Amino acid sequence: MIDTICAIATPPGMGGIGIVRISGPLAPQLAQAVLEGVPPARVATLSLFRDEQGRVLDQGVAVFFPAPASFTGEDVLELHGHGSPVVLDRLIQALVMQGARCARPGEFTERAFLNGKIDLVQAEAVADLIESVHEGAARAAANTLQGAFSAMVRALDGRLADLRCHVEAALDFPDEALDVAEDAALAEALTTLSTDIAEATRRGREGRVLREGVRVAIAGPPNAGKSTLLNALAGHEAAIVSPYPGTTRDLVRERVVIEGLALELTDSAGLRATDDPVEREGIRRAEAALAQADCVLWLVDDSAETPPPAPPASLIIYTKIDISGRASGPCPEGYAVCAPTGAGIAALRAGLRARFLAAAQDAEVEGAFTARRRHVVALEKVGRAIAAALAHQGEGSAELVAEELRLAHEGLGEITGRFTSEDLLGRIFSAFCIGK
């Protein structure tokens, strides 16, 4: 017997409206007990909400969604009352006394997935939409919830299934003399699929950036202008600025949104040799932040005679150009800025956005979708399997081609939940808020 679950679906605290959601086979019975009748299907009905002893707890609107035409695919009852935590808790108690149990975090969305109402990507998009911190992420999450990402994966999945059928036919019917190595159509299809998987992976990485943002570490020697640059990018004084070396000892983090791209900026201690144990700890933390960053802005004092060399793969930012006389804006190595006056800051912001959202002209790309690390990892796995299949196809090994295509097919299935372990499902839905 499937349990009937209940939970408060609105945020904690007082509010004008509070919603309690119920899903499961006992929903009609609970409606009869709490409302003294089951409301008409999908009709907002003014009702009194009663406890297990028949006492009135609240007056509000009840909506009943019979299975399977509901979010979870089960009978669902929603009680929209006043947003008093005491009243909502008392209503939950009454439902539990009548046979329901309190829902786990994400259990409503998990049931929607298990009942085939949404796939796993769409289920995760529910949480992404709730947690959106800027408009671009919210739009992309809404696109994912509507199936933009899932449709792309399903299209690739269908093409891969066709290729598997073609190759496995060569194994099942050896008398037909199907030569995999000489199959030009197969080679062309694999090559095209490999290109399309690479494009999907690129879009997946951009979707991950839309969801999670980019970790940007601001680093360099003492007094290169790191804190000043952080303040300029943030638009307010987030970090203390001082002419004395070693002022910044701990990490200072600030979240900035640039036209739909979220950046987590980290200002850190100036990197130098020092005997000060507190400053050494700050430098250790700075080096750890550099190792974890998606992008390192290495600041170079352009007025200094011999600036220290920049670490590999970092974006060089020339500072204090008001002293050196360098023109502000993009330059071959990076960008030249004068943070106190704002010169070059707009170009740097635009450059950072273009670097991580290359496909977006502004944050309103209709096809943009959110993605997670696991999605990108799975797409990368699929790409490697297709590349291996191409190599084995050239060698004429139908068995190895078939095996690589099977691995690729499973990789795509991991994204939508067609092949998903119970452990992964538990980790995904446990991160949801209660009531979703």
pLDDT for 362 = 41
| Short-list 209, 193, 239, CA closest to 385 | 193
CATH 1.20.120.430, domain 135-210+372-430, yes or no: yes
pLDDT for 150 = 94
Query: What residue ranges of the chain have pLDDT lower than 50?
Result: 240, 242, 244, 246-249, 359-364
| Short-list 57, 52, 99, CA closest to 81 | 57
What residue ranges of the chain are covered by domains with CATH 3.30.1360.120?
A: 5-103
What residue ranges of the chain are covered by domains with CATH 3.40.50.300?
A: 214-356
Quick one: tokens of 369?
């979708």
pLDDT for 67 = 96
pLDDT for 40 = 96
What residue ranges of the chain are covered by domains with CATH 1.20.120.430?
A: 135-210+372-430
Please give the class, per CATH, of domain 214-356.
alpha beta
Give the Cα separation of 348 and 346 in Å (integer). 5
pLDDT for 283 = 67
pLDDT for 312 = 81
Give the Cα separation of 340 and 227 in Å (integer). 11
pLDDT for 178 = 60
Encode pLDDT of 126-171 as tens digits. 988 988 877 778 888 999 999 999 999 999 999 999 998 888 877 7
Q: What is the CA radius of gyration of the chain?
A: 28
pLDDT for 281 = 67
Architecture of domain 5-103: 2-Layer Sandwich (3.30)
Give the Cα separation of 356 and 261 in Å (integer). 8
pLDDT for 59 = 96
Burial class (CB in 10 A: 0-12, 13-18, 19+), 177: exposed
Quick one: tokens of 59?
């007056």
